Structure 1
């Protein structure tokens, strides 16, 4: 979702008609403001100038310079749009971003807020792969660890990763789920039927979060949320996990907004738009 044009504040001390093109920091600020205006939907010089509070002649010089350098592109009948140079820089920036590094401050803050175990994971085939883990302060041990894989359809982070998928993909992953043999599976809650799992996932997709209600490990509950990148795709997920006595449903409900807030922060670092969280699958 693009930024609305009315979110772009006009530049103070706009120059008079015919004044020389500003230099230095002011020029840079105005050039960036032109890009923001075009990203927000402004297509002609009049609209851009109105948003920035600059004259038409200054706006024309700025837009022409940005178009010459390929940051903007002018298309007859359409107007100004973002140019290919921004696409190049966007892909370069994406390649230089380390998910674990940018996520770590948000994970640490979430751990401090909750006192519980925090996970960061991504999808690896039909499993979740744990990239980071911060143990909780309650002295509880969980079998998850960095580099460990678990079935995607049984974990909180896994279900969060599934929120952008189609229902046919949900069913395929549901049918592939299995219980780990290293635990006492008899203590796990009974597996939901496909229809029950589907209805549960529909509710999660609508809300933009997911729960693990002892689906993967006895007495362990999790609240998870997805992380988006600039392409609006879910690329990872985070969760807050603890044992049943510390995770009654009332507390899990209260943690949804907290976990979503941390996920939105990480999404922003990756160029994602937090507003799409909770939009669910198509």
Structure 2
């Protein structure tokens, strides 16, 4: 039986069941919407899921249609209504990404003891919304409110994963190239093919790396955050220096970072 999580739906014939009021009516109304969301399209199907009589189901469904929480068509039956879309967009606007993500970032920081970043795209840059410093005594130049070229950072490349190769190339052309010897070994100036190869690998795996592209001796593992439309809206990363972030550890961190990003995405309405 589909029902709102944690809510009990009184069966027909139980006390107050034939004429539900207050909380029971609300619970059943929510159950009707959940049933429709689950694929029930006519009164018989909805009644079977909710556990109410046809007349009670019709009364609840009619009220929800009138209030635009459901819609009804003679050809397709019941469906979710425009009021839910309006409320969904309003809820999304009211959600603060930093507030929603913070508990997950703190947990990730506790798990790794490394520096944690949360960032969004701002034109051709990444904008850092949050940062939790690591416990290893390292200090990085990133800070909340700071911007960096998007194609030079791990979080930036994670934000780019949903783009086309042409989009990657455009942003790659705007990146600043580090002049250190270590960075030059990884991405020599003009090495678009190497950058493309890495981005293709990242896009397939749903993560990205920063291999000293942005700051000498700093490496990170990043993953994108998506909203209900599956659009990439932010990214998170775990960063540290090479002694604490060998390539083998970076590989081991991929599922942990992706799981954290997925948990935040679910808070923003993304499907499991």
Question: What TM-score results when the alignment is normalised by the length of structure 1?
Answer: 0.87
CA deviation vs aligned residue, 1:175-210 (integer Å, no higher than 9, x gap): 221136xxx533314316323322222221222111
Over 3 Å counting, the alpha-carbon distance change for 1:31 and 1:230 in structure 2 is same
Contact kept in structure 2, 1:224 and 1:259, CA below 8 Å = yes
- Tell me which of 75, 92, 106 is aligned to 2:104: 106
Matches within 5 A, 1:241-260: 241-260=239-258
- Tell me which of 11, 14, 22 is aligned to 1:14: 11
- Segments of structure 1 that go 5 or more residues without pairing to the other structure are 276-282
Contact kept in structure 2, 1:227 and 1:237, CA below 8 Å = yes
- Report the alpha carbon displacement of residue 267 of structure 1 after superposing the two structures with TM: 1.4
- Tell me which of 180, 187, 191 is aligned to 2:187: 191
Matches within 5 A, 1:39-188: 39-179=37-177, 185-188=180-183
Q: 2:4 and 2:48 mapped to 1: Cα distance?
A: 10
Q: 2:268 and 2:228 mapped to 1: Cα distance?
A: 6
**Structure with larger RCO (C-alpha < 8 A, sep 6+):** 1
- Report the alpha carbon displacement of residue 107 of structure 1 after superposing the two structures with TM: 0.9
Of stretches 48-57 and 217-226 in structure 1, the one that deviates more from structure 2 is 48-57
Question: What TM-score results when the alignment is normalised by the length of structure 2?
Answer: 0.89
Of stretches 132-141 and 51-60 in structure 1, the one that deviates more from structure 2 is 51-60
Q: 1:260 and 1:6 mapped to 2: Cα distance?
A: 29
Q: How many residues align?
A: 266
Question: Aligned to 1:15, what secondary structure does the other structure show?
Answer: coil
- Report the alpha carbon displacement of residue 122 of structure 1 after superposing the two structures with TM: 0.3
Contact kept in structure 2, 1:8 and 1:37, CA below 8 Å = no
- Segments of structure 2 that go 5 or more residues without pairing to the other structure are none
Q: 1:163 and 1:6 mapped to 2: Cα distance?
A: 36
Question: Aligned to 1:77, what secondary structure does the other structure show?
Answer: coil
Over 3 Å counting, the alpha-carbon distance change for 1:52 and 1:79 in structure 2 is same
Q: 2:171 and 2:39 mapped to 1: Cα distance?
A: 39
Q: Supply the RMSD in Å over aligned alpha carbons.
A: 2.3
Over 3 Å counting, the alpha-carbon distance change for 1:216 and 1:43 in structure 2 is same
- Report the alpha carbon displacement of residue 6 of structure 1 after superposing the two structures with TM: 7.4
Contact kept in structure 1, 2:43 and 2:54, CA below 8 Å = yes
